[in-house]
Amino acid sequence: MAAFDRRSLLQLLIAAGTARLLGGAAPAEAATGLEFGPSEPFSYDWLKQHARDLAAQPYQEPPRPDPAIVSRIDYDAHGKLRFRKQYSLYRHSAYPISFQHVGMFFPKTVKMHAVDGATAREIIYDPTYFTVGEGHVAAGLGPQPSAFAGFWVHEPDRKGDLDKVEPWATFLGASYFRGVGELGQVGLSARGIALAPGAPGPEEFPDFVAYWFEPAASEDAPVTVYALLHGPSVAGSYRFVMHRTSGVVMDIEASIHPRRTVERLGLAPLTSMYWFSETYPTRVDWRPEVHDSDGLALWTGTGERIWRPLNNPPQVMISSFLDERPRGFGLAQRDRNFDHYLDGVKYDKRPTAWVEPVGDWGRGKVQLVELPTDDEIHDNICAMWVPDAPHGAGSHIDIAYRLHWLADEPFPTRLGRCVATRLGNGGQPGQPRPGPNVRKFMVEFLGGPLAELPMGQLPEAVLSASRGTFSYIFTEAVPNDVPGHWRAQFDLTVDGTEPVELRCFLRTGSIVLSETWLYQYHPTVR
């Protein structure tokens, strides 16, 4: 998986502002100056057949504006390409839609269509929709091919100037999209599909090459977006029914048609950034932690709740969690303490994204791909569902899921939850320090039945490791007077540099008190 330069993208989006776009799709709004193509029949069934037909044909890359010019539209230049507010699509409806211009980080053309009942019309690109100054590098681009690259869904007018209010859904670049969480902040991204991330060689990033829009009837109604996915190895059709709630909830359906067998075809993929957190024994930056997400949360088909803290590994790591009929998974930001970040970019408010399967997903695995990084500008984390069902040319995969963009998991466990993972030198105070092959772990759990333990009763830490030996194992209440806040402490002695898979949960007798903590320890990281 190539690390996606997400910080540069974020800087570009901030520079661009949240300008609203194209005028409405209804004929009455055409007088605003927008140009539309002729009406053509449209339905989701048509789109699914169209994607199926495309997959049976050799791949042809869509037209794109002059690459030599587009490659010079960096985030500063892109920030000056604002879409004029009077051209917002559905600008008189609940949620106006704006469009983004191509640029260095998203150079490919995307077609836009407005749906009206059983027909749709393409929105014809015109450079005058954007604030393209005479001396701007984009002025060298002609009216064809289109320079639309993506779109934003905005809040209602009553919430203020759209230049100053964050859009609540954005689709921009390849098949990437995002939603705003309950804390009013964006962070991690989702994708339409992931094809063998982390594999040797360049990763393939199929594109959403066309969108079709249906407006929301009211602020309580959803915005519906249809998308056509196309790339060298796959074609697919998508329907997004997007609800603006306290965060954002997207009901997603997809029908995917591979042209060939892909080593690992990832469905419902989530992409995030993790540089370092409290798991790192030495400080690498002036800030205590830097990440959009700090862990992978799993709710398995058997009902087990798992927390896997993220790593910035020394090499590409792919972890698989076998499952059947999973109940959900997500990349979460659990640490909400500003003092743990000390950064003005609001890492403490980044959303959690949770994938809730709809229907029977069968057998497969949640796969976590972690890439090494030395900066926060790269997306180096991917979590996705990889089905066991065979696929290849002529096959197809149907999937449905609900994607929640919230502050927390939508269905949190009633068990104690892992809230911190800390590492340090092994040994005990006042005793000779052991060698570098001994590491101390402190795993904190909070809430659930841990808050109801009788006075004096200690939970038991149940531990296992793929290799190595444990010592100095004990549990204790964290001395902060917070009910139900406990920690398990242990030393691990292990030789060699190969990763170690660790497992821990708390119990009393036969009663499980906490979710299961899984951690991949890299002995070489200091």
Average pLDDT value for residue range 367-394: 94
Q: Which CATH superfamily is domain 417-521 in?
A: Immunoglobulins (2.60.40.10)
- Residue 476's alpha-carbon distances to 168, 461, 463, in angstroms, are 43, 10, 16
On the question of pLDDT at 2 being above 70, the answer is no
390 near 362, Cβ under 8 Å? Answer: no
On the question of pLDDT at 326 being above 70, the answer is yes
Residue pLDDT, tens place only, 189-209: 999 999 999 988 889 999 999
Q: Is 483 exposed, middle or buried (0-12, 13-18, 19+ CB in 10 A)?
A: exposed
State the pLDDT confidence band at 33, using cuts at 50, 70 and 90.
low
- Residue 340's alpha-carbon distances to 149, 278, 334, 344, 348, in angstroms, are 36, 9, 12, 12, 8
198 near 369, Cβ under 8 Å? Answer: yes
Helix (H) or strand (E) holding 49: helix 44-55
pLDDT at 143: 84
pLDDT at 19: 31
Mean pLDDT, the chain, whole residue set: 91
Residue pLDDT, tens place only, 400-434: 999 999 999 999 999 999 999 999 999 888 888 88
Q: Which of 285, 278, 274, 350 is nearest to 310 (CA)?
A: 274
On the question of pLDDT at 152 being above 60, the answer is yes
On the question of pLDDT at 4 being above 50, the answer is no
Both tokens of 32, joined, read: 């605003």
Average pLDDT value for residue range 426-443: 89
On the question of pLDDT at 361 being above 90, the answer is yes
pLDDT at 165: 83
pLDDT at 7: 42
On the question of pLDDT at 16 being above 60, the answer is no
Every domain of the chain and the residues it spans: 4-406, 417-521
Average pLDDT value for residue range 140-154: 91
Mention the CATH class of domain 4-406. mainly beta
